Amino acid sequence: MPPTPALLGLDRAELAEALSSADRPALRARQLARWLYAGETDFEKMSDLPADVREALGERYVASGLVETRRVESEDGVVKVLAHGGDEESFECVLLPYADRVSCCLSTQVGCPMGCAFCATGLGGFDRNLSAGEILGQYFLLQSISPRRISHVVYMGMGEPLLNYPEVVKSIRLFKQEVGLSPRHITVSTVGIVPRIRELAQENLPIHLAISLHSTKDEIRNSLMPVNQKWPISEVLSAAKEYVNATGRKVTFEYLLIEGVTDTIDQAEDLATMVRGFPSLVNLIPFNYVSTGQGFKRPAPSRITQFRRTLESLGVNVTQRRERGHRIAAACGQLAGVHGGRFARRRSPSDLSVLS
């Protein structure tokens, strides 16, 4: 039996359609939206809606279809939650409290089809895209845990956001219009889906774009990230520059440091050359352990420091990802969830049919 339809994720026009049999549906849609996008899930508590409308909504819909199945917290305050949308195909989201803000990391797919060699999500395969309501539902689930308001959203959980483009963009617009989050506090991460980067640049959403680069050499990036065989580094950089020109927002290049693979000084020097000349930030991410079967290791601290200092000496704006949630497998690259994975773990890295 299919899950009961959820209202979270619908815009006001869609809510008015759902309320078409009610008196003054546009007004009722505005009232309903205020409750839904404040995180209320009980129709009976939506006090400015007439009783008959609340009753009808309760008979046909749920406010949010998200079901929490597991929660784990680390000693640094990071909370990882496993949830599903009623079909038991599970995905993960993470609450990240900091002294000056509260962030959350949201998933956009159940699993991921990209097959990146260093990432637990990609190694587990892919099931389906998440709806805008399921994306927003993660935010409200985490907000119910946090005593402080979540002010920053990063689309860096399970999945490739730009392969779920319509629902991701819709969720961003709802965060802006209904939840009241500034687009400047929203970051979308991508492995480099070039046509969608260009499309996103025209959406009039001044969000922050993060591109997972992870190597400056196509032959290395090919082995780590199959997407590079379709859109190599030169095309990704060109799309990044177009995004900067269209939005006025700098681009962050996420760079994973793997011992003996991506942490070489010549790649640091190449990286400085690549990002020179347009607003950008390089964010270094020392490898978080994932059982890949390839023996990847985190570089020694001295090697990480040397790579960073090389970039800084060449004028690169560089930061290093602060490690959070490593012990509960909530750090970058460690989200795995529990799902069937239509694309098998043993899928050939050259199989890029999912991108067509």
CA distances from 137 to 59, 85, 172, 281 (A): 20, 9, 13, 30
Question: Looking at 44, 73, 92, 104, which residue is catalytic?
Answer: 92
Separation of alpha carbons 15 and 209, rounded Å: 30
Active site residue 219: no
Assess contact for 132 and 171: CB atoms under 8 A: yes
What tokens were used for 127?
A: 């099931």
Distance CA(34)–CA(208), nearest Å, equals: 26
Nearest to 110 by CA among 122, 96, 97, 99: 122
Tell me if residue 59 is catalytic: no
Contact 101, 151 (CB under 8 A): yes
- The catalytically annotated residue of 104, 105, 116, 332 is 332
What one-character-per-residue DSSP string does 202-228 give? TS----EEEEE---S-HHHHHHH-GGG
What's the full length of the chain, in residues?
Answer: 356
Q: How much helix, strand and coil, in percent to the nearest 5, is found in the chain? A: 35, 20, 45
Residues 111 and 124: beta-carbon distance below 8 Å: yes
Other Cβ atoms less than 10 A from the Cβ of 116: the count is 24
Rounded-to-integer distance, Cα 7 and Cα 174, Å: 13
DSSP string of 302-335? HHHHHHHHHHHHTT--EEEPPP-SGGGT-STT--
DSSP 8-state code for residue 175: I
Beta strand spans in 106-143 (E): 109-111, 126-129
The sign of the CA dihedral 42, 43, 47, 48 is: positive
Q: Which residues contact 356 (CB under 8 A, 6 or more apart)?
A: none
Find the DSSP H helices in 8-89: 12-18, 25-36, 51-60
Active site residues: 92, 332
